[in-house]
Amino acid sequence: MNKIILLAALFAGLFFSPVQAQQKAADAVHLIPEPVSLHTGTGHFRLSGQTAIVVPAGDAEAQKLGKMLGTMLGTPTGYSFPVVSTHSGNQPAIVLALNRSPQSELGEAGYTLRVTPGGVTITANRHKGLFYGMQTLLQLLPPEIESHEKTAGITWDIPAVDILDYPRFGWRGLMLDVSRHFFSKEFVEAYIDQMVKYKYNVFHWHLTDDNGWRVEIKSLPQLTQHGAWRVPRTGRWGTFEKPQPGEKASYGGYYTQDDIREVIKYAQDRFVTIVPEVDIPAHSLSLISTFPNLSCTQLQYPVNPGSPFYKKEDNVLCIGNDSTYLILDKIFTELAQLFPGEYIHVGGDEAYKGFWEKCPKCQALMQHEHLKNVDELQSYFIKKMEKMLLAKGKRLIGWDEILQGGLAPEATVMSWRGMEGGIQAAKMNHHVVMSPNSFTYIDLYQGDPLVEPATYSMLRLSTCYAFEPVPEGVDPKYILGGQANLWAESIANERHAEYMTWPRALAVAEAVWSPAKKKNWDGFVQRMESQFPRFDAAGVKYARSAYDPIISGVKDSGGKLQVKLATEIDGLDIYYTFDGTEPDNHYPEYKGQPLDIPEGASEIRVITYRDGKPIGRQINCPLSEVEKRIKK
């Protein structure tokens, strides 16, 4: 350990001086999320076949991190990186060192990273800080470091830097919905791999909904035998035909408990906590389809394939039915034993209460418990769930509808219908995770619906980047952090899940890690663009929708339709045509003023360029669509 500290000090003295260590990150280094402090220096450190990874002697966790780093570096470079606890000062090395006297500024997840021509040193108070320093180190290397195979002809240089970094929030989450469409265990692990590169640390796993039950419950094998499967449908979600008589439920899947243990271990190795969600009392058709006696109607419904059913089929558990609690106790007993994290998410959202109002059992319960309305009935249910979870050593978290009728005493609120639910809960001294649909729902359109896969609303990258988890007037100590959510109604395959996640999850990553004062949209765009070659090297699909033109309509003083054009990213040139031909940079350029529409035109075609080359997709927009886009 003494040799490690001495080596770190030598590296520091070799390189940085007050004059050299000037902050010019924007000129040379592009990291996401933006670190607390970054100074660049002169020169670089070059990885070679002689580079070692040095870890503290006798530290098994650091040894494991060193081997992980060696694998990540070794696959694309082709080099072997021995993990050692002692080595000569002449050998080039990457040093992972723990502070003997923890620095309060760094906390549990912070780190310092110093690169000099003589070597690399990552220092932290805890192992998770070393892990996050490793992620930053990878971003300093050429993009090909993300390749899954050896890449020849690359000089593996790391620019000289001095970085101090730590997270703004402890909850930095991504949610993946695997109920509406099932994603493989291998994809889930790959998704976790990708999220930790940007320092996310909570994976919210939406495991159940109306459309599929994805977690094995050994005491209730019917849930995966029946509830995990539905009839196959392709097309636009919400328009599908209902299951037909005799049609086989062949689409779906589930995770065995062994699968889940493997994913949990995989996540733990990467300092990610998994929060499982079983969505109740609503969004429960896959459960009710398996056990029809659990709804107020007690009718046999199919697992929903994406066809309209709301208020027609009863997807809400019967609160007055004792069987509901017997089944849920079995489910949560096994989940509590399976998942080691602090929280279990119970959903609590979008419960249609009309069936409760007509249910004799629910009405009798309301009378017995002196509940004034069905909102209080839902609150009664959530409070009962909280007691059940606390008895199993877990805490309850739910969507902001759990505020309705009165919040459970120790519940944590995940605010999705804007920020208001989170504000209300925080003012009641409850912890909050901010996840407002207006900023963090990454299943929404990210570009023009004419060229994007169908979904139901809009969330552009720049709006995502504007996300601020702490509203004015709220004590920050109650805001655990923030989260982006990927609902999967309109996401039928794994490649599209990636496309919808990136780069918008980069924007949310900065909101939950980086200092608020460092927010800068133009700087983010530059740093985001540096990630695209990394996605390419890793084989991860991502969207470039932010480069596409934005087309809208206005009316002139005489009431005639005009076309307005814009771009989300500054510095792009916009070219257009009304005559049905394909525009390029020799066509008319948009200069900022609304365009008059030539007589007889039925469509505008628009494309964006940067530095004389096309960068966005061409959008062909009927003028009838432009008319619809006029803001009222």
Q: How far apart are CA 90 and CA 297, in angstroms?
A: 76
Q: How far apart are CA 590 and CA 578, in angstroms?
A: 12
Is residue 567 scored above 90 in pLDDT?
yes
pLDDT category of residue 631 using cuts at 50, 70 and 90: confident
**Same fold yes or no, 2-165 and 548-628:** no
Fold of 171-545: TIM Barrel (3.20.20)
Q: Return the structure tokens found at 60.
A: 């098994």
Q: What does the pLDDT look like over 134-147, one tens digit per residue? A: 999 999 999 999 99
Is residue 280 scored above 50 in pLDDT?
yes
Q: What does the pLDDT look like over 318-332, one tens digit per residue? A: 999 999 999 999 999
* Domain 2-165, CATH among 3.30.499.10, 3.30.379.10, 2.60.40.420, 3.30.70.330: 3.30.379.10
Q: What does the pLDDT look like over 220-242, one tens digit per residue? A: 999 999 999 999 999 999 999 99
Please state, rounded to an integer, the average pLDDT across all residues of the chain: 95
- Identify the pLDDT of residue 21: 37
Q: What does the pLDDT look like over 351-384, one tens digit per residue? A: 999 999 999 999 999 999 999 999 999 999 999 9
CA 6 to chain centroid, in Å, comes to: 40
pTM of structure: 0.95
pLDDT category of residue 288 using cuts at 50, 70 and 90: very high
Q: Which residues are catalytic?
A: 209, 283, 350
> Using an 8 Å Cβ cutoff, are 573 and 608 in contact?
yes
- Identify the pLDDT of residue 22: 36
Segment holding 138, helix H or strand E: helix 127-140
Cβ of 558: how many Cβ atoms within 10 Å?
5
Q: Which residues of 20-43 are buried (b: 16+ CB within 10 A; e: fewer)?
A: ebeeebeeebbbbbbbbbbbbbee
The domain segmentation of the chain, as residue ranges, is: 2-165, 171-545, 548-628
pLDDT category of residue 87 using cuts at 50, 70 and 90: confident
**Angle between helices 504-513 and 494-501 in degrees, nearest 10:** 50
Q: How far apart are CA 195 and CA 442, in angstroms?
A: 14
Please tell me what DSSP assigns to residue 255: B
- Identify the pLDDT of residue 461: 98
pLDDT category of residue 36 using cuts at 50, 70 and 90: very high
One-letter amino acid of 454? A
Place of tokens 């900022």: 592
In CATH, what is the architecture of 548-628? Sandwich (2.60)
Q: How far apart are CA 59 and CA 37, in angstroms?
A: 29
Closest CA to 56 of 25, 107, 87, 98: 98
- Residue 612 Ramachandran class (φ > 0 left, ψ -120 to 50 alpha, else beta): left
Segment holding 391, helix H or strand E: helix 374-391
Q: How far apart are CA 1 and CA 17, in angstroms?
A: 26
